[in-house]
Structure 1
Amino acid sequence: MPHTDRTPGRPLAGTVVLDLTTALAGPYATLLLAGLGATVVKVENPATGGDSARNNSPYYGRDGLNMARVDDTDMSVSMMGRGRNKKSITLNLKDPRGRATFLRLARNADIVVENYAAGTADRLGIGYEDVRAVNPTVIYTSISGFGAGGGSGKAMDSIIQALSGVMYTAGEPGTEPVRIGLPVGDLLAPLYAVIGTLAAKTQRDQDGVGQHVDVSMLGALTSLLSTEPFDAHEQVGLPVRTGNEVPRLAPFGIFPAKDGFLALCGPTDTFARGVFRAMGRPDLIEDERFATRDQRVHHASALHEMVGAWSQSRPRAEAVAALAAQGVPAAEVLTPADALRNPDVRRREEVVELGHPEHGSTGVMGPGVPIRFSHADVRLDRPAPHLGEHTGELLADLGGLSGEEIAELRQAGVI
């Protein structure tokens, strides 16, 4: 039996994942699988320095954070986040011996995940049909820009955002398209990939049949866009781009405070009345301009001007407290640095401090597993590996290679 990490209480304990992914979309999918307890074997190319994320600045090392690598133990913060709980082996898959070695590993894998451009894995001889030939029950998950047989071209996050239409949903009316700062194209597809992988695994556990799970970055993001009926809005004359407001809701939006901004959502009669009381203007409850939802929407400009004048005269925490006291949904607009240190997400380990394999705590925050279980222990509690750190161990334990075979591969530069 191959060696696996069977940490008690983890849902995917004993599940072996071969990780052929690089950059962000694929590695985030396998990061979640690792956090759920799977043994994730990260396969990296020794000829190129491994995952491209290993060369993303900034780096963390013995001297803390630096924009350039200055020491052999320095590790990219990107890799420190995305590589946790994984084991790294090096394998040149363009070499026939590397391909053969990968297929030996695949015989004992439950899941393979790759995010090459569509068709690349097949050309390398490590695609779904190649792996299925040696392991008929394998779950083989592909994440690509346009899906198997889809469009061509490089599928970077900005390209996917552009093609999905989301760039014309953010920003003010009449302004240029806006790229969403969070790489949503790169991050949404892996979530669907994990859902598909676990669904396929559940089916396989019932009927013993493996299958190919195919997720398109473009399809994932455009599908999410379609949950809001933007095309219907255009047909009835509602604007698609609304900035920080929603034309059919009032009071609603982002408002200035003395020391920043606050978000306010008060479209119902109950919430709107709470806003008026928080502002010290209960008289507005009886004002015919604001008495009903439709009237508030019709007079939204005047209403929002009043709310903004009130909020900008006080600190945001004070304004939010006044609104909350009246039961109104409101919150301070936090910077990313503050949001990452929010006690609520820290307590639930949805965001955690990253560790360095040699230098320990870093003070740098990264994603945890944002799912809590009542009867399972899920977490990312092991630092990212250095390139090829587990090559010999896993080729022997998982692939069944002898010491002599491993030495020959190493001598030939295949590993």
Structure 2
Amino acid sequence: MAHRPLAGRTVVDLTTALAGPYATLLLAGLGARVIKVENPATGGDPARGNAPYLGAEGLSLTRQHTDDMSVSMLLRGRNKRGITLNLKHPAGREVFADLVRAADVVVENYSAGVTGRLGIDYAFARAANPRIVYTSISGFGAQGGPGSGKAMDTIVQALSGIMMTAGAPGEPPVRFGLPVADLLAPLYAVIGTLAAVVQADATGEGQHVDVSMLGALTSLVACEPFDAFEEIGLPLRTGTTVPRLAPFGIFEAADGWFALCAPVDSFAHGVLAALGRPELTRDERFADRDGRVTHAAELHALIGEWSAERPLTEVLATLTRHGVPAAPVRGPAEAVRDPLVRDRGEVVPLAHPRYDRAGELYGTGVPIVFSAAETALDEPAPALGEHNAEIYGDLLGYDAERLAALAADGVI
């Protein structure tokens, strides 16, 4: 741990589901001590009840044994210390204040207004520890908004405009299969948290870091000038190809699909050579970029007709030989087993606390490689309240009598 970038930092993790736990997972992978706080009265993070489960007999759709663990928790709970604390209990706020005094960061992803009603908001945390960095991840911002309601990934995708950037004209909106809003907001939350920690080190003052799922995703939609496309008559939704970058898109070979990206002259001319039509590099329709954009449908049709008659291996070998960026379209199971990403620790095996790698599952690693530090997600997810004695006793100094009283009163 001494060689991990965030070694010595402590994070109090009040998050549940995906967006918040992914942020704290990254902080844990960077070496922070992340203390996952779960409510003993509700059975903890709802993700503990997500199917499928992993246990002694491998994967199952329903829980077969008491020590089966949700794959969601196996993935998101790694390298975290698990404690129980009922923040709705009157004594819970006092315990939370002690945790804040021992911490550098608090991360929460409650709906807007909940931390205020519980009495554990930034103002409360700051009173306990002025250096605390208090990060909120929410659907629409920590203050919410008129009619903002509950934020789920699909709701945020719908509001962000991203659903109308995929698919073809006239098709229904396309929901991204990856919960992109739930996974994007945590990245900005981690960036903001670390920036605030650096500032707190310099000034002695913490602050509130406020990240919204809608704002994070919509900001990326705004990275592409879709409004400009619309104004000049370019379609926002172009299906499997991108005419303004032609040749560019997804094409079908005789036995599979491949991606091809050749917007510049050298790549595009390589495509024409691969098709056995080098003379077309002098054709005004395809010689330069503007011509290819104007005649994108013709160019993409030529590629599709050529590739449909050939096996995928031949198509890719021919394109590669002519210097064209191309790759097979892989499924998730194949992609996460690629030795390249596994060797770099960007994808790592998932372990059950008792049954090691039963099921041969893989989960996210920390996709950052440092030259003078290490990262790791090498400890299994905790059982509910597994580290109560370690955190409350060793870190906060609570004696056995106090711990017993807190447990008896339903505080922990």
Other-structure match for 2:107: 113
Alignment of 1:46-65 (within 5 A): 46-65=40-59
TM-score w.r.t. length of structure 1: 0.97
- 1:318 equivalent in alignment to 2:335: no
Secondary structure (helix, strand or coil) at the match of 2:243 reads coil
Other-structure match for 1:373: 370
Q: Deviations over 1:215-246 (max 9, x none)?
A: 01111111111000111111121111111222
Secondary structure (helix, strand or coil) at the match of 1:78 reads helix
- 1:398 positional shift: 2.2
Other-structure match for 1:257: 253
1:236 corresponds to which of 232, 237, 249: 232
Secondary structure (helix, strand or coil) at the match of 1:240 reads coil
Letter in 2 for 1:335: G
Asked whether the equivalents of residues 145 and 216 of structure 1 are also in contact (C-alpha less than 8 Å), the reply is yes
1:298 corresponds to which of 294, 297, 311: 294
Other-structure match for 1:39: 33
Secondary structure (helix, strand or coil) at the match of 1:141 reads strand
- 1:192 equivalent in alignment to 2:188: yes
Alignment of 1:151-162 (within 5 A): 151=145, 152-162=148-158
Other-structure match for 1:128: 122
Asked whether the equivalents of residues 17 and 39 of structure 1 are also in contact (C-alpha less than 8 Å), the reply is yes
Other-structure match for 2:264: 268
Query: What is the aligned-residue identity percentage?
Result: 64
Other-structure match for 1:81: 75
- 1:366 positional shift: 0.5
- 1:8 equivalent in alignment to 2:20: no
Other-structure match for 1:163: 159
Alignment of 1:347-386 (within 5 A): 347-362=343-358, 363-386=360-383
- 1:412 equivalent in alignment to 2:401: no
Other-structure match for 1:309: 305
Secondary structure (helix, strand or coil) at the match of 1:404 reads helix
Asked whether the equivalents of residues 29 and 366 of structure 2 are also in contact (C-alpha less than 8 Å), the reply is yes
**Matched residues in 2 for 1:305 and 1:15: separation?**
56
2:335 corresponds to which of 330, 339, 346: 339
Letter in 1 for 2:216: A
Q: Deviations over 1:279-338 (max 9, x none)?
A: 222222223321221112222112111111111222222211211111111110111111
Letter in 2 for 1:393: E
Asked whether the equivalents of residues 271 and 327 of structure 1 are also in contact (C-alpha less than 8 Å), the reply is yes
Secondary structure (helix, strand or coil) at the match of 1:308 reads helix
Asked whether the equivalents of residues 248 and 297 of structure 1 are also in contact (C-alpha less than 8 Å), the reply is yes
- 1:29 equivalent in alignment to 2:23: yes
Letter in 1 for 2:132: V
**Matched residues in 1 for 2:86 and 2:115: separation?**
13
Name whichever of 228-237 and 53-62 sits farther off.
Answer: 228-237
**Matched residues in 2 for 1:85 and 1:317: separation?**
41
Kindly tell me the number of residue pairs found equivalent between the two proteins: 409
**Matched residues in 1 for 2:226 and 2:278: separation?**
36
Other-structure match for 1:3: none
**Matched residues in 2 for 1:408 and 1:150: separation?**
37
Other-structure match for 1:92: 86
- 1:190 positional shift: 0.3
1:222 corresponds to which of 218, 225, 238: 218
**Matched residues in 1 for 2:289 and 2:123: separation?**
58
**Matched residues in 2 for 1:67 and 1:75: separation?**
11
- 1:8 positional shift: 2.0
Asked whether the equivalents of residues 8 and 33 of structure 2 are also in contact (C-alpha less than 8 Å), the reply is yes
Name whichever of 291-300 and 108-117 sits farther off.
Answer: 291-300
Asked whether the equivalents of residues 25 and 190 of structure 1 are also in contact (C-alpha less than 8 Å), the reply is yes
Other-structure match for 2:134: 140
Secondary structure (helix, strand or coil) at the match of 1:248 reads helix
Asked whether the equivalents of residues 243 and 297 of structure 2 are also in contact (C-alpha less than 8 Å), the reply is no
**Which ranges of structure 1 fall in alignment gaps of 5 or more residues?**
1-6
Q: Deviations over 1:332-378 (max 9, x none)?
A: 01111111111211111111110110000131111000000000010
Other-structure match for 1:279: 275
Secondary structure (helix, strand or coil) at the match of 2:244 reads coil
Letter in 2 for 1:270: S
Q: Deviations over 1:52-98 (max 9, x none)?
A: 11000000000000000011110000000000000100111100112
Letter in 2 for 1:143: I
Asked whether the equivalents of residues 89 and 391 of structure 1 are also in contact (C-alpha less than 8 Å), the reply is yes
Letter in 1 for 2:133: I
Name whichever of 187-196 and 231-240 sits farther off.
Answer: 231-240
Other-structure match for 1:4: none
Letter in 2 for 1:386: A
Name whichever of 207-216 and 283-292 sits farther off.
Answer: 283-292
Letter in 2 for 1:260: G
Asked whether the equivalents of residues 19 and 182 of structure 2 are also in contact (C-alpha less than 8 Å), the reply is yes
Other-structure match for 2:395: 398
**Matched residues in 2 for 1:25 and 1:138: separation?**
21
**Matched residues in 1 for 2:45 and 2:304: separation?**
48
Letter in 2 for 1:397: D
**Matched residues in 1 for 2:135 and 2:332: separation?**
32
